[in-house]
């Protein structure tokens, strides 16, 4: 068989974090001539693997935390941080309330929230004797 013509189509989306177009799907057609003079066409289409591990779902977006996001997150797994609205993949989303797994935070916001809670708790603990004393003096 002698190849006579081939076509390749690439579908790209613009990735704002790396500032570069990224391939999400491609297809190609190869035409070849057999020894008998017939034209044989081979069509092939492929999609990039999704970063969440899902296959067959349409892409939903790119995770803003993955330092080298090689692939988009599928539309079903794609989430936004409830506080800073950063787009997230399942690996980088922190579920705050297991009863509501769709409500997630990014790692940074989850850490800031935990730190804020710890500091607030410590202040309450430090101030509690004075508050108690104040109440006792007044009564």
Asked if residue 24 lies in contact with residue 11, where contact means CB atoms within 8 angstroms, the answer is yes
> Residue for token digits 């500091």?
119
Least separation in angstroms between residue 122's CB and Zn ion is 24
* Identified binder of Zn ion from the candidate list 59, 61, 62, 63, rule CB under 5 A: 63
The pattern of x and - marking residues 14 through 33 that bind Zn ion according to CB under 5 A reads --------------------
Tokens of residue 96, six digits? 């705050």
**Are the CB atoms for 51 and 71 separated by under 8 Å?**
yes
Q: Which span (8-16, 36-44, 104-112, 117-125) binds Zn ion, by CB under 5 A?
A: 104-112
Is residue 5 within 8 Å of 42, Cβ to Cβ?
no
Question: Smallest distance, Å, CB 69 to Zn ion?
Answer: 7
Please report the DSSP string for 29-86 in residue order: EEEEE-TTS-EEEEEEEEEPPPTTS--SSPEEE--SS-SS--SPEETTT-EEBTTT--
DSSP 111-125: HHHHHHHHHHHHHHH
Q: Does 92 bind Zn ion (CB under 5 A)?
A: yes
89 binds Zn ion (CB under 5 A): yes
Nearer to Zn ion, 71 or 106 (CB): 106
Q: Per CB under 5 A, does 104 bind Zn ion? A: no
Q: Report if residue 66 touches Zn ion, rule: CB under 5 A.
A: yes
Options 25, 32, 33, 83; binder of Zn ion; rule CB under 5 A: 83
What residues line the site for Zn ion (CB under 5 A)? 52, 54, 63, 65-66, 74, 77, 81, 83-84, 86, 89, 92, 106, 109
């Amino acid at each position: 068989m002698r190849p006579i013509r081939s076509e390749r189509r690439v579908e790209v989306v613009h990735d704002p974090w790396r500032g570069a177009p990224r391939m999400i799907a491609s297809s190609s057609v190869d035409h070849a001539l057999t020894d008998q003079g017939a034209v044989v066409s081979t069509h092939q289409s492929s999609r990039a693997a999704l970063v969440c591990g899902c296959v067959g779902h349409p892409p939903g977006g790119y995770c803003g935390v993955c330092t080298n996001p090689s692939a988009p997150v599928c539309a079903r797994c794609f989430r936004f941080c409830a506080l800073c609205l950063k787009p997230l993949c399942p690996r980088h989303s922190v579920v705050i309330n297991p009863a509501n797994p769709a409500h997630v935070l990014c790692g940074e916001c989850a850490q800031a929230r935990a730190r804020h809670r710890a500091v607030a708790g410590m202040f309450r603990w430090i101030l509690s004797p004075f508050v108690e004393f104040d109440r006792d003096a007044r009564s």
